[in-house]
């Protein structure tokens, strides 16, 4: 980090309901001033399907008992549940020298860098933000930018019950296969993945790297 940009505050929230954390992100973004430090929140959510602002509900095929919540991020429908590492990035983009596209790329590359150390070759797609391994989706990205500040962020499947993804068209793509790190390389510990991801995340989010 440069001297004039405070290092982000890292917060581990444990397991928290998605609507509750969403409200807290909105509140922080509305109230933060120009000198407020950025924050990165690590959280795990109970089962929930979330829809982006302009998402088409036809992509929710059979939600069953899992709640469906429409929120204020971009993108279509995705699933959050136990065994998934969610990373919310509450950042002042103007101060960091990023724009929404370069922030997406930074998040994608942080995960790609992390899983490479596990022997997993992942990649990004320009037409569909996220992280993919051999065509299967490992991580999803959805953001909101307000007052030049971002919230929402990244979700990486570590060791999940992947069946609920079959109840939706993930990210609006019919037949898109989803995977997790447990299936790809045996990594099943969220704490380990979080510890491995954090330095790559901080490196990719260094001020002015996005410009």
Catalytic positions, written as ranges = 171
Cβ atoms of residues 85 and 42 within 8 Å: yes
Cβ atoms of residues 30 and 62 within 8 Å: no
Cβ atoms of residues 85 and 44 within 8 Å: yes
Distance, in Å, from the CA atom of 134 to the CA atom of 173, rounded to the nearest integer, reads 16
Question: Strand 39-44 relative to strand 9-15: parallel, antiparallel, unpaired?
Answer: parallel
Distance, in Å, from the CA atom of 28 to the CA atom of 198, rounded to the nearest integer, reads 22
Cβ atoms of residues 93 and 105 within 8 Å: no
> Beta-carbon neighbour count of residue 105 at 10 Å?
19
């Amino acid at each position: 980090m440069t001297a004039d940009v405070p290092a982000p505050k890292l917060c581990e929230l444990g397991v928290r309901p998605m609507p509750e954390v969403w409200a807290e992100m909105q509140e922080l973004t509305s109230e933060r001033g120009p000198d407020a430090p950025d924050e990165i929140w690590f959280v795990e959510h109970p089962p929930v399907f979330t829809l982006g602002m302009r998402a088409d509900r036809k992509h929710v095929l059979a939600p069953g008992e899992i709640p469906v919540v429409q929120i204020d991020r971009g993108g279509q429908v995705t699933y959050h549940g136990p065994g998934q590492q969610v990373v919310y990035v509450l950042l002042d983009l103007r101060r960091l020298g990023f724009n929404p596209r370069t922030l997406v790329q930074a998040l994608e590359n942080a995960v790609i860098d992390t899983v490479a150390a596990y022997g997993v070759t992942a990649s990004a797609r320009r037409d569909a933000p996220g992280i993919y391994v051999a065509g299967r989706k490992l991580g999803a990205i959805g953001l909101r930018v307000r007052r030049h500040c971002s919230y929402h962020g990244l979700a990486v499947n570590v060791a999940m019950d992947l069946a609920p993804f079959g109840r939706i068209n993930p990210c609006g793509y019919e037949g898109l296969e989803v995977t997790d790190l447990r299936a790809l390389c045996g990594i099943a510990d969220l704490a380990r993945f979080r510890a491995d991801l954090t330095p790559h995340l901080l490196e990719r989010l260094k001020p002015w790297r996005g410009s």
